[in-house]
Structure 1
Amino acid sequence: MQATPILVERRFPLELKRSIVSIRELYEISKASRWTPAKDIAWDSFDPGASEAARNAARLVWSRRAWLEYTGLAETPALLIRFCLELDRESDPKYFLAVRNTEEAWHLECFHRYAKALGGYINAPSDKRWEAVLNRTLYRDALDATQSLDGYVAVHCAIEDGIELALYQLYAGNAREPVAAQILARAVAAKERHASFGWLYLQERAARMDDAAKAAIVSQIESWLTHVAFAGYQIPSLSTEIDAGDYEAAATLAAEAGLGAATPAQEQQTFRQCVQDARTRLAQWGFALPTVRHPVLGEV
């Protein structure tokens, strides 16, 4: 493994003034929205009325969510450090990222605990090939001095977090079990702020970019869609290299039981709409995202 090139710290002059009001507001809202998983989720209201098969299916769904959320626990501190290392980066994202990490920890605790309530948390995928899909090492990418910070935010905080938000809104809409509904309502509220941060920051920075910089970011987004999203990172059924049958069946059964999931068809439609919406939004700021082709979905 090669060493990750990291920027030389240039902290001073230290800039702490409020410069991106919209992102500072996200920070203030996050602080005011503080909650505690152990106290603010009514765990005693858990209704295990679903069949054993449905609960086992939901165990896999919620465990997989925890695997993805683990990534954020390492990514967000690394991204915060990157913002601090780069000279003249605004203070507002730094404040916001400090609280984002706490929210990710709350989500992880809830996902893990809910999987246990359903019958037990699953520690890892049964097919080891999924580990390479899920282990993105984003903490290294965020710190990599050879990579554009603006490009990283565009890909992972706007596009990726935007898709994640839409998926969680879908899951919340399908949740009838009381505890699942409470967890997802909390997660959606936080993930709305997470995705908003990415889009607001990209909008702020876009005005300072030339055509070459914008084209480079578009290339990064296209690469992420084709090599990460299409590999089944967020939606297992998008993978054409690894059999996702177990995940597809589990998601369908958990969705039908109201345990906070969605069918693969619903997830794919949500993904398609997210990419279309992102393309329209990006075009407003001069980013021309082309269509990308998926072996099953066709052009997206």
Structure 2
Amino acid sequence: MAPAATMTSRTILDAPENRFPLNLDIEIPRIRNLFHAATSNQWNPSLDIDWPALDISPYSEKQLYAARMYWSRRAWGEYGAISESPALQIRFCKENCAPDMRLFFAIRTQEESRHAEVCFRMAEMLGGYIEQPDLSEFQGAVATHGVRKMALDPDVPLEGVIAALVCAAEEIAFDVFRHLIDITPNPVAAQVLKSIMRDEVRHCAFGWAFMNSRIPHLSKTQLGAVEDAVITMIEKVELNGYHSAWLSPEGPAARAEIEVDRLTWEAGLGATVEELEKPVFIASVQRVRRQMQESWGIRLPMFRHHKIDGEF
């Protein structure tokens, strides 16, 4: 039998510490500027949202339950990002990455915590936070997108992790956020969305700044690994319903979540529906493909989904 040490998967944690010499000079000015912007643009979920303006009296019991589930689901997703940031911090430190990245991600963890809290508070104001999905089979769709595992896997290049997480998934999420703000009439729900989006702008900018600093130094093989990571994120995560319930595999859980979104959208409390989000999603994927090709020379394939006509 093989020794126990060889039976477990190797992770970045198995690499020896290599902290010194510790360099804190500016290496990627754009990211250092994002770090300073993040520290000076803090907001407080308990004080900076006009919670007293949220009047729930016009909504039916069914709408309120749906909205509670919707905002609880958002809180679950944001909570997952809280552990994603430290995993990437470990990777940055183990690979002795530019100090700008480590500084920025210290603030990013705080921002994801803030997003989880504000979504929790919104659910509470609507009648009460819901701790888990009604149907257990939906937990897999909202639990993780695999970034923590990718971040600790030395066989996945860091550039692939950032390209997949930020320049693909977070860019798509950003476009959907902008769409949600445009269609959400409730002023408090819209204020919550706008507050989160203010931080997400910096998160997306970080990804492109890092990748633009690294692309000139990558081999063809490394670029291929980046491309593979992005394709996996779009095909296995985004097109599997991680952010949008209507893209989930059909079944009782997906139908329940789609109904939650529809009722919340009808109430104007923050969600969207398939017929409105679909063109936004398609345009976002096309924008990401175009930008990666123009900036990095990466050519993403066309994608397919049974709920979307043709390739996109």
**1:56 aligned residue:** 65
Letter in 2 for 1:273: A
Letter in 2 for 1:264: E
**2:11 aligned residue:** 5
**1:71 aligned residue:** 80
Cα distance, 1:279 vs structure 2: 0.5
**1:198 aligned residue:** 207
**2:311 aligned residue:** 299
**1:267 aligned residue:** 277
Cα distance, 1:3 vs structure 2: 4.6
**1:121 aligned residue:** 129
- Between the aligned partners of 1:195 and 1:64, the Cα distance in structure 2 is 22
Q: Secondary structure at the match of 2:217?
A: coil
Aligned match for 1:215, one of 209, 224, 228: 224
2:157 pairs with 1:148? yes
Letter in 2 for 1:97: F
Cα distance, 1:28 vs structure 2: 0.9
In the TM superposition, 1:141-290 aligns within 5 A as 141-243=150-252, 244-284=254-294, 285-290=296-301
- Between the aligned partners of 1:264 and 1:237, the Cα distance in structure 2 is 6
8 Å Cα contact 2:72-2:129 kept in structure 1: yes
8 Å Cα contact 1:59-1:121 kept in structure 2: yes
Gaps of 5+ in 2: 1-6
- Between the aligned partners of 1:241 and 1:46, the Cα distance in structure 2 is 34
Q: Secondary structure at the match of 1:234?
A: coil
**2:110 aligned residue:** 102
**2:43 aligned residue:** 35
- Between the aligned partners of 2:8 and 2:200, the Cα distance in structure 1 is 33
In the TM superposition, 1:21-32 aligns within 5 A as 21-32=29-40
8 Å Cα contact 1:158-1:197 kept in structure 2: no
Q: Secondary structure at the match of 2:46?
A: helix
Cα distance, 1:241 vs structure 2: 4.4
- Between the aligned partners of 1:295 and 1:102, the Cα distance in structure 2 is 38
TM-score normalised by L of structure 1: 0.94
Change (3 A) 1:241 1:150: same
8 Å Cα contact 1:235-1:268 kept in structure 2: no
Letter in 2 for 1:36: N
Letter in 2 for 1:80: Q
Aligned match for 1:14, one of 5, 18, 22: 22
Measured against aligned partners, the alpha-carbon deviations of 1:255-282 in whole angstroms (never above 9, x if no partner) come to 2222111112222222111110001000
Measured against aligned partners, the alpha-carbon deviations of 1:35-82 in whole angstroms (never above 9, x if no partner) come to 211111121111212222222221111111111111111010111111
Q: Secondary structure at the match of 2:197?
A: helix
Measured against aligned partners, the alpha-carbon deviations of 1:143-191 in whole angstroms (never above 9, x if no partner) come to 2222211100000121111111111112222222222122111101111
- Between the aligned partners of 1:184 and 1:133, the Cα distance in structure 2 is 22
Gaps of 5+ in 1: none
- Runs of 4+ in structure 1 off by over 3 angstroms are 1-4
TM-score normalised by L of structure 2: 0.91
Cα distance, 1:133 vs structure 2: 2.2
Letter in 2 for 1:268: K
